[in-house]
Chains A and B, each alone.
Chain A
Amino acid sequence: QKEVEQNSGPLSVPEGAIASLNCTYSDRVSQSFFWYRQYSGKSPELIMSIYSNGDKEDGRFTAQLNKASQYVSLLIRDSQPSDSATYLCAAGGTSYGKLTFGQGTILTVHP
C-alpha cells in the first residue's frame, strides 16, 4: 500500500471552474501536510502547508485536512490556464524530517 496516494488524474477543468485535488495517507501519526505545484521540467514549488484539521485558505487556494479520515485536499478556485501543472501531495511522517510524496495529479485548465 502506498503511503501517500493521490487521485489518479489527469484532471481537466474549464477556465474559471473549481479544481479539486485529493490525497489520502496511511500513517496515522503524520502531522504536517503540503501541496506542491510542479510545472513540466521544473522543480516543485510549495503552494500550501497545513498542520491542523479544517480549512486553510490562501488566495485562490484552499487546503483541507481531516486527520480522522486521513484525507487532505486542495481546491483551486477560478482556475486559470497557468494553473496547469502536476500537483504533489506530501506528508510529514514520524521519521523526523522525512516527507513522503504522492505520485502527483496532472491538472489541465482549458480556456
Chain B
Amino acid sequence: DGGITQSPKYLFRKEGQNVTLSCEQNLNHDAMYWYRQDPGQGLRLIYYSQIVNDFQKGDIAEGYSVSREKKESFPLTVTSAQKNPTAFYLCASSFRTGQASTEAFFGQGTRLTVV
C-alpha cells in the first residue's frame, strides 16, 4: 500500500538530547514537509523540501534540522536548541505541479514528549 510512514509513534526525549524523527513515503511525491501541532492549535511549518538535496525553512525552523538525501525520506532532527519540543509532529508529502500547491497527505504523526 502506498503511503507515508512516520516512526516512532511516541518518543520521549531527555533535556539536552537530540532526537531524529523518521518519515518515509512511497507515493513518488517530490515535495515533503514537516509540521508541528500544539494542543488546540493548527499546524505550523518547520521545514519543506521540493527536490532531493534541497530544503527550505518554514515558519518555525529554529532548533530543528532536516536532510533530503533520497526522494523517499525526509528525517527531522529536534536539537537541544529547541526549547519547547513537546508537540505532535506531522510529516506530509505532495506532487509538484507548477506554482500552485497540490494536495498534501499526512503520515500518522509522532508525539514527542520531553521528560
Contact = CB atoms under 8 A, between A and B. Distances in A.
Nearest to A92: B101
Interface of B: 31, 33, 35, 41-45, 48, 50, 58, 90, 94, 96, 99-109
Contact of A101 (B31, B42, B103, B107): B42
A7 to B, nearest CB: 13
Contacts, number: 62
Interface in A14-69: 31-32, 34, 42-46, 49, 51
B96 A43 contact: no
A49 B41 CA distance: 21
A104 B46 CA distance: 18
Interface residues of A, number: 25
Q: Which 7 A-B pairs have the closest CB atoms?
A: A92-B101, A31-B100, A101-B42, A103-B42, A101-B43, A43-B106, A43-B109
A108 to B, nearest CB: 15
6 contacts: A49-B103, A92-B101, A96-B50, A99-B104, A101-B35, A103-B41
Contacts of A43: 90, 106-109
A90 B103 CA distance: 10
B43 A97 contact: no
B107 A97 contact: no
Interface string A73-93: 000000000000000101011
A91 to B, nearest CB: 8
Given A31-B101, A46-B104, A97 B109 contact: no
